[in-house]
Amino acid sequence: MGTIRRGLADLDSPVRFSASRVRRAGGGRKPLAETDPTLLADLKALVDDDARGDPESPLRWTAKSVRTLAGALRERGHRVSHETVAKQLRRLGYSLQGNRKTKEGASHPDRDAQFHHINTRVSAALEAGEPVISVDTKKKELVGDFKNAGREWRPMGSPVPVRVHDFKDEGLGKVNPYGVFDIGGNAGWVSVGIDADTAEFAVEAIRSWWEHLGGQRSPTATTLTITADCGGSNGNRLRLWKTELQRLADETNLAIRVCHFPPGTSKWNKIEHRLFSFITRNWRGQPLVSRQAIVSLIGAPTSSAGLEVYARLDERSYQRGIKVSDAQLAAVNLTRDEFHPEWNYVIRPHDRLVVA
């Protein structure tokens, strides 16, 4: 009866409750954070980043799902469910998040200066009407009915069936796409190799580009400028890279200027976002079932800026571990720049006069 009397008194009271409330302010069960004052602190300690480096942390090597966290809290005397843990995590400002690639590692002190140097060389070559290319090897790809990242539109409930395990098919193997991007012409050439990704293979891809595209578009060229990474098959320390470029210079009668990007800055190479990104986007969700399918998918991308891409299968075999002697290296007609000579140099044909 007392409850009824209080209810009738509330109805007769001139103070009316908000339409959004069903009981007087302060009524109902107390918040868990009040009845269990150490809950939030214990929960935060379990999910805090600092706990990752603590080998004594109970969840150091455990996935921190809400059910796992709830179990750990119950072991500490807290009466919580996984739904409560999720609610309290949101209250603390936590959310499910993946990793984000932002760290580049230690950068070279002359990184920006080398960028300016490359830009100066590239701009001068383009203004002079000389060809400039950006080169690199794309990620090796398994050939066969394997899962490929990304999604494409298909009838609902009918995804393309692919193999469960990504074990290399010995009959099909892998491919090594080596790309050449013509910066001035906004055109890409990709040699799809089936053997080792060596310096010989890299220069052969540049040679193929020149024979099929570059030489036709720049018939009066005297210099070819190449921007490349510091590592891989076109690394600045590779002797074979330089001797093979010498062969190419002698064959084409071109002075070949090379500018390497500093270590750890490969993503600034234009081929990454002007060519490779469009190839990856074009074949997303498509199993690379055969070598010819890969060549076709590489040659299909276009862009609103008028990108053209050409691809060719290179079925040659390339020997690994070729040794270049000191005498062979000394025979390279190489002139190094004053600024970071290990990154910037020119290789000229043997019968050409030295030019600036």
Does position 4 have pLDDT exceeding 90, yes or no? no
pLDDT digits (tens, 9 = 90+) for 334-349: 999 999 999 999 999 9
Condensed to tens digits (0 to 9), the pLDDT of residues 117-126 reads 999 999 999 9
Strands 187-193 and 308-314: parallel
Long-range contacts of 77-83, Cβ-Cβ distance < 8 Å, separation of 24 or more: 78/36, 78/38, 78/39, 78/42, 79/36, 80/32, 80/39
Give 246's pLDDT tier (boundaries 50, 70, 90): very high
Q: In terms of pLDDT, which residue wins out, 261 or 23?
A: 261
Is 263:222 a contact under the CB 8 Å cutoff? Answer: no
pLDDT at 356: 46
Alpha carbon distance 284, 270 (integer Å): 21
pLDDT of 17 strictly over 60 = no
Between 10 and 15, name the one with better pLDDT.
Answer: 10
Alpha-carbon distance 250 to 117, whole Å?
26
Per-residue model confidence as pLDDT tens digits over 184-208:
999 999 999 999 999 999 999 999 9
CA distance 355 to 254: 11
Q: How confident is the model at residue 254 (pLDDT cuts 50, 70, 90)?
A: very high
Across 27-41, 293-307, 311-325, least confident range: 27-41
Rounded to an integer, what distance in angstroms lies between the CA atom of residue 103 and that of residue 119?
Answer: 24
Predicted confidence (pLDDT) per residue in 61-90, tens digit: 456 788 888 888 898 888 888 898 888 888
Q: Terminal CA-to-CA distance of the chain, rounded, Å?
A: 104
Domain spans, the chain: 29-96, 111-149+166-347
CA distance 298 to 146: 17
- In whole angstroms, what is the distance from residue 188 CA to residue 304 CA? 15
Q: How far is CA 201 from the centre of its chain?
A: 23
Cα–Cα distance for residue pair 238/240, rounded to 1 Å: 5
Whether 114 contacts 107, CB under 8 Å? no
pLDDT at 213: 95
The pTM assigned to this predicted structure is 0.73
Instruction: Tell whether the model's pLDDT for residue 242 goes beyond 70.
Output: yes
